[in-house]
Structure 1
Amino acid sequence: MSDTASRSVLVTGGNRGIGKAIAEAFAAQGDAVAITYRSGEPPEGFLAVQCDITVPEQVEAAFAEIEEKQGPVEVLVANAGITKDTLLLRMGEDDWSDVIETNLTGSFRVAKRAAKGMLRMRRGRIIFVSSVVGLLGSAGQANYAASKSGLVGMARSIARELGSRSITANVVAPGFVDTEMTAVLPEEQKAQYKAQIPLGRYAEPAEVAGAITWLASDAAGYVTGAVIPVDGGLGMGH
């Protein structure tokens, strides 16, 4: 990997929140950045490809378009994810399967497809965006926690499989991040969350993006199979 040459980067779910911040951080470095999005209007400045990662045919079509327009994916950030929070005894089969299919199986799908090109190039970076919830657990989020903790085992298995080809696989586990999703929470609930965080504040999306761009840099060339928490100390020790 080179910090100076423009690379082909793909960020799934890169149209808003953390994903958009990640895409912007790579673009600021001079990389060619593609994003996937499911609906709505994507932000300008990126190669935006509409793709539902739960549909294998759409994933294949997205990669074909990206490879044609900016070359094989050298850095993959598997960020796309959903939540369907509810307590275990109220959780329906669809609540479980939809979250697993998007967050875990969707990440597997894009990683597998990206790895084909990386193996031919004999280099690459795969970065999964997990969550502190995947390490600590959270009431009402059994499905989400399972999907996010599954990314750790998948990344570490990929790291062992593909390391000999100079391909790394790592996980970033954000805590509470200041995004549109957290902005709508009641102030009392925000205060309760912040009280649990040693740094006493939410992360900025750019702080998560900074950890991810570092993992994709030359400086992190010997880091693989790692879980990097960006959580203000919330999940320390896990």
Structure 2
Amino acid sequence: MLELKEVNVFYGVIHALKNLNIKIEEGEVVTLIGANGAGKSTTLKAISGIQKLKSGEITLNGESINNVGAPDIVKLGISHVPEGRRIFSRMSVMENLEMGAFTRTDKSEVKKDFEKIFSLFPRLLERKEQMAGTLSGGEQQMLAIGRGLMSRPKLLLLDEPSMGLAPIIVKEIFSIIKEINKAGTTVLLVEQNAYMALNAADRAYIIRNGEIEMQGDAKTMLQDEKVKKAYLEG
């Protein structure tokens, strides 16, 4: 479905991604784990058209998206839920969800998707007229994911969905991620909580200093001694 081939990204003189190769098959949950500054968020920004490549290629269903702008990448079926939520704090919950559907013209189907989001996140229905900035951290994360789903993505990019959340809310968010995937959306998950990410994913990539250090079955990685020592202990 999605493939990154020999992707290189620079921030000025900093070589952020180094000949990165990643493949994602339709229907999978794939996780990308690594330390702070490893290149995880940069990878998602490159896929969603926010960060330009220096070289290499990104293809969606075999077609290059290297020169496609971010809004058009949303239209192609990729939605990016960024690190830190980035909700519109002075807009209501409902208005935030409407912004997620900005590329769509099928109003009757959009209305159905509001109902789906509220079914997935009942707390958002209770707060639909509330200003988004007054929501709890967990509710804001739910809103960010809901907004991302409003474009009806084939591939959902999730950047650190557990960041700053209480453990009980983290479990809830990961349960919802599994539901989203079961409903037919492919997921690429960037996450520092390696234990939760590997439990939720089918396959995993470990990135270090902009390079893929290890890849394979996510559940097998949970048992790998090197992975345990580097990412699961302490």
TM superposition score category, shorter chain reference: 0.3 to 0.5
Give the strand-richer structure, 1 or 2: 2
- TM-score normalised over the length of structure 2: 0.34
Give the helix-richer structure, 1 or 2: 1
- TM-score normalised over the length of structure 1: 0.34
Instruction: Tell which has more relative contact order, 1 or 2 (C-alpha 8 A, sep 6+).
Output: 2
